Amino acid sequence: MMKSESRLDMELVGFRALKELKEGDIVFPGFGIPMEVIPQHIPSELGVTLVSENGVIGYGPIIMEEAGWEPEAVIAGGYPVIIPPGASFISEHDVFIALTGKHRIDIAFLGAFQVSEKGDIANWMATKRGVACLGGAMNIALGAKRLVVLMHHNEKDGKLRIVKECSEPITAKGVVSLIMTDLAVIRVTKNGLILEEIAPGVSVEQVQDCTEPNLIVSDDLRVMEF
Amino acid sequence: MFNKIYKTTIEALADIKDGATIMLGGFAGGQGAPYNLIDSLIERGVKNLTVIANNHLPINDLAREKQVKKALICFEGPATYDPRYRFLEDAHRNGEVEVEVMGFGVLTWRIQAWGSGVAGFYTRVGVDTLLAKGKEERIFDGEKYIFERALGADFALIKAYKSDTKGNLLYRKAARNINPTMAMGANTVIVEVDDIVEVGELDPETIVTPSIFVDRIVKAKTKRTVIKLKS
């Protein structure tokens, strides 16, 4: 079993995710680590625009203090945010046109319960509790030009999350391009999963032990940088 | 002189009967829900309601009071179980409430379809997932799509920021969310606002929901702040 000290803090994985952003990108950071890290740390010179499911376009960092925020200036999940110049508000109906049509969102970051070797993502039904937390996941998973999953590589009890076929209810099929975990960065391709980066102090064998499908090790294997 | 303004939320809801289908505005996180109208709906005690909302929060108290028969929603409960907001998911688990789940985007487009008078639409959202079960599947340009039916209601209870006396509406920031769509998705649209102003005070260029979509206007008595889901 993987030593927990070798695993990255998920916040660091969020910083690695930031490196995927290109100048002018229109970005959707989903619940959890993406939303908690990305808005706070985007380099301002990139000129990136953040989009929230509840209809806030161009929002800024999340406000951590207890005071100084207004009830209506919040993104999905109720996180209060700074509304910088250039931001706007639209209805949920309209924001989902932007989020689903694959014409506007350059990159989306979502959490997941499982990802399959074909790029299927399962992230909406917590089957242990039997509760549907669907939100915009099915739309966003289809509508992003690039979909990056940020998640723990496997469950604390060892249960695998990168699998041959998802056993948890699927959100969308064949949509994930990149998986970033507390152990590795893995690219999803037609030919299989390519291990491109490993966390500092982690070996290829250790990553393969926690991954169900066979990993193709990249010729250009690197250590994750933040 | 025709007057859309009601003095109290309970008067505005007087004709809602048992078994009605009601839409509730607001987003997961609590912003933009018509809490005064919801409180009066609970006070009225109408039962066997079919309630449409994009998340469990506006329905939570109605479920606690056992007034809900069916809920059409996108979010049944918070990601981590919270005893304060558990009533809908508990009622679902106990078989007391029937729950139909769909994505945020699909919900708003189903409402728009009803408003537009179209039967529905074909979408790739939900294809090959549990939600495709029982839905017609069709291929367009080699891609699978599933058919989603239009969805409307007898009443839409929505929240806006300001209304003029005619019913032209402005919204405030993220409290807008699904409210403008629901304003076009029901036979009787009842809006709760922070402020009612005279006709002519709202710049026509800024009006988001025109008066033709609004039937009843009530000024909110209490302002409930948004529920922050994450500390």
The ipTM assigned to this model is 0.91
Query: Positive or negative CA dihedral for A197, A203, A208, A211?
Result: negative
Would the CB atoms of B172 and A72 count as touching at under 8 Å?
yes
Q: How far apart are CA A120 and CA A32, in angstroms?
A: 19
Chain A: residue whose CA lies nearest to B182: A93
Q: Quick one: pLDDT at residue B230?
A: 46
- Active site annotation includes A53: yes
Q: Quick one: pLDDT at residue B225?
A: 62
The beta strands (E) that lie in A51-201 are given as 56-57, 88-89, 107-110, 114-116, 121-122, 125-126, 131-132, 146-150, 162-163, 178-180, 184-189, 192-198
Chain B nearest CA to A142, separation (Å)? 7
Which stretches in chain B have pLDDT values below 50? 229-231
pTM above 0.90, yes or no: yes
User: Across all residues in chain A, what is the average pLDDT?
Assistant: 93
Residue type, A20: E
> Which residues in chain B (141-170) have CB-CB distances under 8 A to chain A?
none
Would the CB atoms of A31 and B30 count as touching at under 8 Å?
no
Q: Quick one: pLDDT at residue B29?
A: 73
Query: How far apart are the two ends of chain B, measured CA to CA in Å?
Result: 50
Q: Which of A5, A23, A45, A53 is catalytic?
A: A53
Assess whether pLDDT exceeds 90 at residue A64. Answer: no
Chain A nearest CA to B74, separation (Å)? 5
Q: Quick one: pLDDT at residue B231?
A: 40
Q: Quick one: pLDDT at residue A131?
A: 86
Q: Characterise B173 by phi-psi region: left (phi > 0), alpha (psi -120 to 50), beta (else).
A: left
Helix axes B57-64, B35-44, angle to 10 degrees: 20
Burial classification of residue B55, based on how many CB atoms lie within 10 Å of its CB (0-12 exposed, 13-18 middle, 19 or more buried)? buried
Q: Name the band, by pLDDT with cuts 50, 70 and 90, for residue A2.
A: low
Q: Quick one: pLDDT at residue A65?
A: 80
Segment B131-158, tens digit of pLDDT: 999 999 999 999 999 999 999 999 999 9
Helix axes A33-41, A10-18, angle to 10 degrees: 50
**Share in percent of chain B as helix, strand, coil (round to 5):** 25, 30, 45
Would the CB atoms of A91 and B179 count as touching at under 8 Å?
yes
Q: How far apart are CA A135 and CA A126, in angstroms?
A: 13
Residues in contact with B198: Cβ distance below 8 Å, sequence separation at least 6, in sequence order: B164, B165
Higher per-residue pLDDT: A127 or A51: A51
Q: How far apart are CA B185 and CA B115, in angstroms?
A: 5
Q: φ, ψ for residue A178 (rounded to 5)?
A: -145, 140
Higher per-residue pLDDT: B102 or A101: B102
- The region of weakest confidence among A46-50, A56-60, A128-132, A180-184 is A128-132
Burial classification of residue A109, based on how many CB atoms lie within 10 Å of its CB (0-12 exposed, 13-18 middle, 19 or more buried)? buried
Assess whether pLDDT exceeds 90 at residue A126. Answer: no
Mean pLDDT of A142-162: 95
Segment A5-21, tens digit of pLDDT: 679 999 999 999 999 99
Identity of the residue in A31, A96, A138 whose CB atom sits nearest the CB atom of B126: A138
